[in-house]
Structure 1
Amino acid sequence: MQDFKNFDPRQSAMDAARAMLEQAAKDAMNDGTLPQKELPSFVVEVPGDVKNGDLAANLAMASARVFGMPPRKIAEAITAHLPALEGTLFDRVEVAGPGFINLFLNMNWYANVVLAANVAGADYGRTDFGKGEKVNVEFVSANPTGPMHLGNARGGALGDCLAAALDWAGYDVTREFYINDAGNQILKFGKSLATRYLQIFKGEDAVPFPEDGYQGEDIKVLARQFADEVGDRYVDGDFETLQTDIAAFGLPINVQRLKDDMGKYRVQYDVWFSETGLHQSGAIADILDKLAQRGATYEKDGAIWYRSMQYAEKYGGNKVTRKGLDGEVTDEAKDEVLVRANGVPTYFAADIAYHYNKFVTRGFSRAIDVWGADHHGHVARMKGAMDAIGLDGEKLDIVLMQFVRLMQDGKPVRMSKRTGKAIGLAELLDEVPIDSARFQFNLREPGSVMDFDMDAAVAQDNQNPVYYVQYAHARICSILKKMAQEGIVFEGADKADLTLLTEPSEMDLIRHIANFPGEIISAAKSYDPARITRYVTELANRYHKFYNSCRVKDAEPAVCQARLALCTASKTVISNALTMMKITVPESM
């Protein structure tokens, strides 16, 4: 029996259709029906309405100019030279309208889809499309100076599910978190902690808090932990020493909290990459030397500048549009400082070195960064910097993720009723099931602003989209279990006559099952894992329609076995889609 490894039913049908049509066109040219010409590129696709065929090809339309003939006449010439369809995947081929070639798949193809899902099981949907290309997906990368916010909740679900889609599509994927543990934010972090520490012993009035300090309650908690450990040892000492030591104390605690929060969210990173490591290894100094050697930098006012405008132009970066109080504002792009006059490298210098490390040191052929939409002005500069360093900026892809609004009772929710603070990732996961959070955050494509419906997220009914899908899986499990208890045992898809699945709702469900591998590939190519949530929601919908229109238990025995195979195929695909997104797959609800 075929093992169906890396099997994509829809793509195999399109490939077969293309090969068959190309050969028929060549045969028509060889006998003089069509003039000898080179065939142009053409499209084989799934039409919007399957009444017009399972597949449609525009070969005749695309080659009208080449052959100098009306498209319909070309289409008729090609179809007249098709071989006998017996033994192929096709039942019939028709010419429609001005020259479209429509192909109808036969029942053997439909049967093979159901068999494939049953035989491949937990691997159905996986393909080798990516050919093992080494891809780095960096996402969330929150500053380790405080709790993760709501945007990190969306970024975590988006990045993790995108990485999963790439993995299933045959790429070699590394999930990565970039720890920004160096630079101004860490200095500010240490200063904020140091001030709170001194306030514990001297009082808040005696030690003014810096205007730009981190105001969160978490800073006070960390300062208290430090005070409990060291006592008043630093109270009368050097402030900079206190600032350095308390930051060194608090940073690992916050990084561990980031890891714990991501772990709770079911996000497991392959790499936690430290920015400090770039400084300590000399990687940033090396990058500065390389940029200087390539003429990409210059000195001005004691600082080292990067010729950002020159290299960002290719990516549309000479003007940067941002949102202002009066709408969108366009700023002229400027060159970037890489090393300040005081000799301290900027975050941008570290970012260039970091991406150089991805491409050169670790050998990724593509790097995908998931950023918040507020970083859109940095995209062209970062891609241009790859060109400036001698790499290819086209190999760096940025997924810009729009903002999230929490909604409850139809109104925006900004603050927690329990704490009075802005709701962050940790608190959201205390109030909303993780399954709902991961599913809802992937309901919309990354570039769209989304409303997160808290009422739907906690509902245990069809108002909750993940519940609707999980219920479909549980329903199938319940059906199979109940029938087995009544003595109706599924004998296996390989023993069933799957060509009996001819009812419209059965064929509609099978067509959707066939689309699963291709949908994963599309999600990977478009960097849009929301395609998977939409796909599996529609699969649940089509399964319910099938079940309501086609009896399983009371069907004639051969039909019953075929329908049981279709049930198990549907269960497998729902399970695979949810598992890919790290969402639980219940067998009862």
Structure 2
Amino acid sequence: MTENSGNIKESLEEFVKQALQSYAEAQGVTLPKMTILIERPKVKEFGDFASNAAMQTVKIFKKNPMEIAEGIKERIPPSPLIGEISIAKPGFINFRLNPAASGIALKTILAQGADFGRVNVGNGKKVLIEFMSANPTGPLHIGHARNAILGDSIARILNAAGYAVTREYYYNDAGVQMKNLGLSLQARYRQALGEDVPFPEDGYQGDYMKEIAQMLVAEKGDSLKSTQETQAFTQFAADHIIKLIDADMRALGIYFDNWFSEASLHKNGKVDRALDRLAQQGMLYEKDGATWLRSEQFGDEKDRVVIKSDGEKTYIMPDIAYHQDKFERGYDILINVLGGDHHGYVPRLKAGVQALGFDAARLHCIVFQMVTLLKDGEQIKLSTRAGKFITLKNAIDELGADVVRFFFLMRGADSQMTFDWQLAKDHSMNNPVFYVQYAHARCCSLFKKAEEMGITWLGVEQGDPALLALEEEQTVIKTLERYPEMVRLAAETMEPHHITVYLCELAGAFHTLFTSGTKDETKRFLRPDEPALTQARMTLVAALRQVLANGLNLIGISPMEKM
């Protein structure tokens, strides 16, 4: 990799790797396979980048790390990227960049355009990410959005990191909850026809059940009045609710490649086939009239019942069968996005996967903490069964999809989250998504203002980056250059919040620079009396606009051109 590749960090890593190899050859040493990392020092005085390669190889060379560092330093070739290389105890190799590096970074951003930030971590590996997967028992409430947005954003980031990603929604249409759904609709249907019938104790009480009942009356009249079997009611309600869920997902910019029904596993014999495989592997035994899975030997806290003494399969068996189906479809990596209430479920699911003979390391379970809604100073509990919730549709209609998406990505999955409704409604710089989108809109407005002033940006080749000498300008440039690293980090950790944190930092650096120009005219972006400087600053704004757009698009949020 050379300085012309545009990723400065990767270029420096390559320089150090080659220098280390040269030093090893001079010492008559064969290097083992190893990863050479370049990091950004937390202390600015140590330069822009640092390598600990010398300390990594102390046992290999059997020398003082300072001596090794000096040997590596001497073999790093001259480069327009590097202004200075220094050695610091106990053996760090510190790099201070040449101002020319700014120009390389800006040119790379503008040359790659919408592709800037894409990295090849995945090498085309096939990934199946299952997320959302709420049971079709009622409209989605705002708490469901964390799963949906987290899963979709991980999928987007993995796509940008070179993986081939498939999104899947798995829904339970075969359990007790669905039976209760059918009983609920049956009662509301008969009530809509004027009958005085009791509502099931475990039924779904929201007004949406009354609305579905009215739809059923409109379609079927009273033809189902005497029907005792609930399956027709269950199917009608589930079909309608799945359509509502899909509409909510599309409103958030989320599209699933597959909708997978639990009932299909039973219908197609896949649950029985998974049981047969477990039996063939010697993973089942009988006790107390029930059939047990030997899950404890795979790290679960105890063995699990898979068939109860009455012959009914437990809820884990369809999940094991579903994951057998996933593995058999040929995916390299499986990802499940699960709510915090599933935390204890992960070990038994992984045990089931191992009992089938599959590699559980290929299954990644991302467990996120549940959401608390804060509205008008009051915490609102979210319950589908009690019918007390703010629907996701209402949240999207009132707040906007961009706000909902960004807010649910501001914290790591394992962090508790309070969704502050009032802050989400605030159209000021206090609102993080407004703060970032406004930075992009400001970039667009600067180009519009330049046009009004008769200033034409002549392109990246006409803007001399050496003129961008202000500390605030250099801060923006160095933050821009980090974007591919943040995409890589978000992909490797499967944590999209790294992107929102980065975008807020980048927007903050730009707003600081912009504000400084309102106080000091020499720092303004558009200066007709300084055409060369104006061209350089417009190049900076163009690159900034591109990276903000790339980052926002990556997590499914609109880059606004005016606000």
Residue 477 of structure 1 aligns with which residue?
A: 444
Find the residue that maps to 2:113 and give its secondary structure: helix
Residue 115 of structure 1 aligns with which residue?
A: 107
Partner Cα distance (2:6, 2:365) in 1: 28
8 Å CA contact 1:8, 1:125 repeated in 2: no
Residue 268 of structure 1 aligns with which residue?
A: 255
Unpaired stretches in structure 2, ≥5 consecutive residues = 518-522
Residue 542 of structure 2 aligns with which residue?
A: 568
The aligned runs of 1:450-529 (5 Å cut-off) are 450-529=417-496
Residue 183 of structure 2 aligns with which residue?
A: 191
1:538 matched to 2:505? yes
Residue 48 of structure 1 deviates from its aligned partner by 1.0
1:70 matched to 2:64? yes
Partner Cα distance (1:355, 1:8) in 2: 41
Residue 367 of structure 1 deviates from its aligned partner by 0.9
Partner Cα distance (2:77, 2:361) in 1: 46
> CA, structure 1 residues 415+285, in 2 after alignment: closer, same or farther (shift >3 Å)?
closer
Residue 82 of structure 1 aligns with which residue?
A: 75
8 Å CA contact 1:8, 1:127 repeated in 2: no
1:232 matched to 2:232? no
Partner Cα distance (1:119, 1:402) in 2: 40
Unpaired stretches in structure 1, ≥5 consecutive residues = 31-35, 319-332
8 Å CA contact 1:28, 1:77 repeated in 2: no
Residue 98 of structure 1 deviates from its aligned partner by 2.8
Residue 554 of structure 2 aligns with which residue?
A: 580
Residue 237 of structure 2 aligns with which residue?
A: 250
8 Å CA contact 2:127, 2:334 repeated in 1: yes
Residue 321 of structure 1 aligns with which residue?
A: none
Residue 29 of structure 1 deviates from its aligned partner by 2.0
Find the residue that maps to 1:246 and give its secondary structure: helix
8 Å CA contact 1:303, 1:339 repeated in 2: yes
1:49 matched to 2:43? yes
* More divergent stretch after superposition (20-29 vs 561-570): 20-29
8 Å CA contact 1:433, 1:458 repeated in 2: no
- Stretches of 4+ moved more than 6 A in 1? none
Residue 352 of structure 1 aligns with which residue?
A: 320
Partner Cα distance (1:399, 1:184) in 2: 26
Find the residue that maps to 1:147 and give its secondary structure: coil
Residue 24 of structure 1 deviates from its aligned partner by 4.9
Partner Cα distance (2:235, 2:54) in 1: 69
**Structure 1: which amino acid aligns with 2:40?**
V
Find the residue that maps to 1:137 and give its secondary structure: strand
The aligned runs of 1:150-161 (5 Å cut-off) are 150-161=142-153
User: Please, which of 505, 521, 525 is the counterpart of residue 552 of structure 1?
Assistant: 525
Residue 509 of structure 1 deviates from its aligned partner by 1.3
Aligned-residue CA RMSD in angstroms?
2.5
Partner Cα distance (1:413, 1:369) in 2: 27
The aligned runs of 1:131-530 (5 Å cut-off) are 131-201=123-193, 203-204=195-196, 207-237=197-227, 239-240=228-229, 243-311=230-298, 313=299, 317-318=300-301, 333=302, 335-360=303-328, 362-414=329-381, 421-530=388-497
Partner Cα distance (2:530, 2:52) in 1: 42
Partner Cα distance (2:192, 2:30) in 1: 86
| TM-superposition CA deviations, 1:397-449 (whole Å, max 9, x none) | 11111011122354424489xx9932232222232221111001100001111
8 Å CA contact 2:102, 2:477 repeated in 1: yes
> CA, structure 1 residues 415+160, in 2 after alignment: closer, same or farther (shift >3 Å)?
closer
User: Please, which of 52, 59, 72 is the counterpart of residue 53 of structure 2?
Assistant: 59
Residue 310 of structure 1 deviates from its aligned partner by 2.4
Residue 41 of structure 1 deviates from its aligned partner by 5.9
Partner Cα distance (1:341, 1:192) in 2: 29
Residue 144 of structure 1 deviates from its aligned partner by 0.5
> CA, structure 1 residues 121+250, in 2 after alignment: closer, same or farther (shift >3 Å)?
same
Partner Cα distance (2:84, 2:30) in 1: 27
**Structure 2: which amino acid aligns with 1:294?**
Q
Find the residue that maps to 1:553 and give its secondary structure: coil
Residue 61 of structure 1 deviates from its aligned partner by 2.5
Partner Cα distance (2:397, 2:530) in 1: 50
Partner Cα distance (1:162, 1:302) in 2: 44
Residue 341 of structure 1 deviates from its aligned partner by 4.2
Partner Cα distance (1:98, 1:107) in 2: 28
Residue 484 of structure 1 deviates from its aligned partner by 1.9
Residue 576 of structure 1 deviates from its aligned partner by 0.9
Residue 520 of structure 2 aligns with which residue?
A: none
> CA, structure 1 residues 8+192, in 2 after alignment: closer, same or farther (shift >3 Å)?
farther
Partner Cα distance (2:9, 2:66) in 1: 26
> CA, structure 1 residues 428+193, in 2 after alignment: closer, same or farther (shift >3 Å)?
same
**Structure 2: which amino acid aligns with 1:429?**
I
> CA, structure 1 residues 8+413, in 2 after alignment: closer, same or farther (shift >3 Å)?
farther
Residue 17 of structure 2 aligns with which residue?
A: 19
8 Å CA contact 2:141, 2:382 repeated in 1: no
Residue 33 of structure 1 aligns with which residue?
A: none
**Structure 1: which amino acid aligns with 2:217?**
A
Partner Cα distance (2:193, 2:540) in 1: 70
> CA, structure 1 residues 448+461, in 2 after alignment: closer, same or farther (shift >3 Å)?
same
Find the residue that maps to 2:222 and give its secondary structure: coil
Partner Cα distance (1:166, 1:569) in 2: 23
